[in-house]
Chains A and B, each alone.
Chain A
Amino acid sequence: MATATGVYHSTYTADLALRHTRSEHARLAIVAIALVILPFLATPYWLTVVNQIGIAAIGAIGLNILVGYTGQISLGQGGFLAVGAYTSGLLVGDLGLPFPLAMVGAVLMTALVGAFFGLPALRLKGLYLAIATLAAQFVIIWVVRNWDVVTGGTAALAVPAGELFGWTVRGDFTWYWIITGCAAVAALAATNLFRTGLGRAFVAIRDQDIAAEVIGVDPLRHKVLAFAISSGFVGLAGALTAHYRLIVTWERFTLEVSILYLAMIIVGGLGSVAGSIYGAAFMILLPAWIQQLGQSVGGTFPALSRNLPAVQQAAFGLVIILFLVFEPRGLARIWQRMKDYIRLWPFRY
């Protein structure tokens, strides 16, 4: 069994491939087929949940590029999502751009804003940087709320439904394909980034910033670039939210959202693209599960269903703490261990 004894390659090209064994290819095929079948089987409720997961996954991948891979911290995620959502919504609503073009605009705009708020990273590290990015969060939301003429201020911004070649793009089913497609492209792009020299330079800064400089990685350029790339992904997530929900309000982009996304990548696995997706799924599904649980046991424990939001928050906190203590490398690591176990079965060491 080739898989049990090791994988050998005779060319660098083969060695550089993402997947090496037949079982890896098979797994990818199964995931792809499942994603194709899923929207036909899912109830409308679950389809919205899956769509939310897809969008969150893109945002989490973006945040993970910055936090997990480059070792910078950001509490500005909510703000950057807002930039993406408002930019895309306004480009369609006010300028009448087709929505795919508007989404590209949103990605670029958010990347620019992210790069700007990433400038403090040149001087600040750890907690200090966290506070500086917290400023990004508050400044962006403040601008959104006070720049009434453009953003509509505290009122909700209505986004016209996307149109393409005279066809109106709406509905969970249609958006499932767009969101899933975007998520797949985002995941692939991020994976690619980290198998090239550029991505390695980011990881180098995370692992050992002095050594990174000494081998020629310009910290200024790369930190700002990491903020820009990360924010680009986050901007895409924001733009998708705007066109999928057709309504943008500042309340969806508060500090809580920033923290929720940090939780996603901690639970999923820092420095892992797959982990970002697992984490996004987990953190979106958790409240849904708790809600269902509350409904099913609500008759027996009325106190539980009355205090559902509090229970959800407590569960959030608990999950994060449990992961930090017991598996800081997240769901991605747990999944990896399971795979290794299965791969070696029945030969255990």
Chain B
Amino acid sequence: MPLPALRAGEVRPTDGSRAHVVSRAYQHDLNGSGLERGAVQVEVDAVHLHFGGVVAIEEVSLEVRQGDIHAIIGPNGAGKTSLLNCMSGLYRPQRGAIRLHRGDGDPVDLTTTRPSRSARLGVARSFQNIELFRHMTVLENLLLGRHVHMRHRLAASLAWFGPARRQEIEHRDLVEEVIDLLEIPALRKLPVGALAYGLQKRVELGRALCMQPAVLLLDEPMAGMNAEEKEDMARFVLDVNELAGVTTVLIEHDMGVVMDVSHQVSVLDFGRCLVTGEPDVVRSDERVIKAYLGAGSEPMGAGT
């Protein structure tokens, strides 16, 4: 269930792990969607994608609502990453449409846009295998997240003084808020390649966030992390959603995390979408238990 957004200084009265105080009031709205909370943000409509004989996605339909954390789960090879790639324009499905709804104007079909255009429309993402700009600092990586919001004029860039410098300072302000939100102020000037794996994942989340996305796609942001890092990352995903109201599509294997943080869960298996629903409903769905965990397993989330 969508929770109301927190304001600065508020504490969420809940089960300890989620409770925290917001350290400062945020000036910038990181949520780039023009839609009302709960409105359909992304509509995946009968998408079909195959590579030669391999069917990666088969007639998948689902809706992601504005303000939700929408988890996509499923075993390896189920087609989760492929679905995100379709949304960000990296893969072009053979059939179907992915409509991104906008506050103003008609929805745009993301299956026909190039990645850079999808980004411009408000689709931001992280990758399963970190894809940062390794030789640049954390700050430069995050500033690159501002690329679509900047005006790039050659003469101004070469001259620096004037509009170019003003723009750098202007955007630095939002970037600093993201740095603050993700608790990485000490890393600002460090080259990303030198950071620990978990921190790189956090920077990648930050870069996507700097885009002020309409929808944030996170491909296994907690994979390969230890329990502590995982907890941190889960908290940041929650913060991003609760404080900033950013709609998030989250691919994650850890059922405990998924059941804890998400508003909606879709289950993919062999390229098909078995079910979409609230965590409790999905957890007890017969087909899901059978297909995802194999017959006779414990229900998902039990014991975690």
Task: Give A contacts to B, CB under 8 Å.
Answer: 12-13, 16, 189, 192-193, 195-201, 203-204, 207-208, 210-219, 225, 229, 271
Contact = CB atoms under 8 A, between A and B. Distances in A.
Contacts of B143: 197, 200
Which of B116, B118, B135 has the most A CB atoms < 10 Å from its CB?
B116
Contacts of B116: 213-214, 216-219
Interface in B142-176: 143-148, 150, 152-154, 156-160, 164-165, 167-169, 171-173
B157 to A, nearest CB: 4
Per DSSP, chain A at the interface is helix
B290 interface: no
A208 B132 contact: yes
B169 A216 contact: no
27 contacts: A16-B169, A16-B172, A192-B157, A192-B159, A192-B160, A192-B164, A196-B160, A197-B168, A198-B152, A198-B154, A201-B147, A203-B136, A208-B131, A208-B134, A210-B90, A210-B131, A213-B90, A213-B114, A213-B119, A214-B88, A214-B118, A214-B119, A215-B119, A215-B207, A215-B211, A219-B116, A225-B154
Given A214-B115, A214-B119, A215-B211, A196 B133 contact: no
A221 to B, nearest CB: 9
B270 interface: no
Contacts of A16: 165, 168-169, 172
Contact of B131 (A211, A216, A229): A211
B26 interface: no
A200 B137 CA distance: 11
B120 interface: yes
A197 B141 CA distance: 11
A196 B169 contact: no
B127 interface: yes
Given A192-B160, A197-B167, A203-B135, A215 B145 contact: yes
A93 to B, nearest CB: 29
Given A204-B147, A211-B133, A215-B211, 14 more contacts: A13-B165, A16-B165, A192-B158, A193-B158, A196-B157, A198-B157, A203-B140, A207-B134, A207-B136, A211-B131, A214-B88, A215-B145, A215-B208, A216-B148
A103 to B, nearest CB: 16
Contacts of A207: 133-136
A193 B157 contact: yes
Shortest Cβ-Cβ A-B pairs, 5 listed: A216-B119, A216-B148, A192-B160, A211-B131, A207-B133
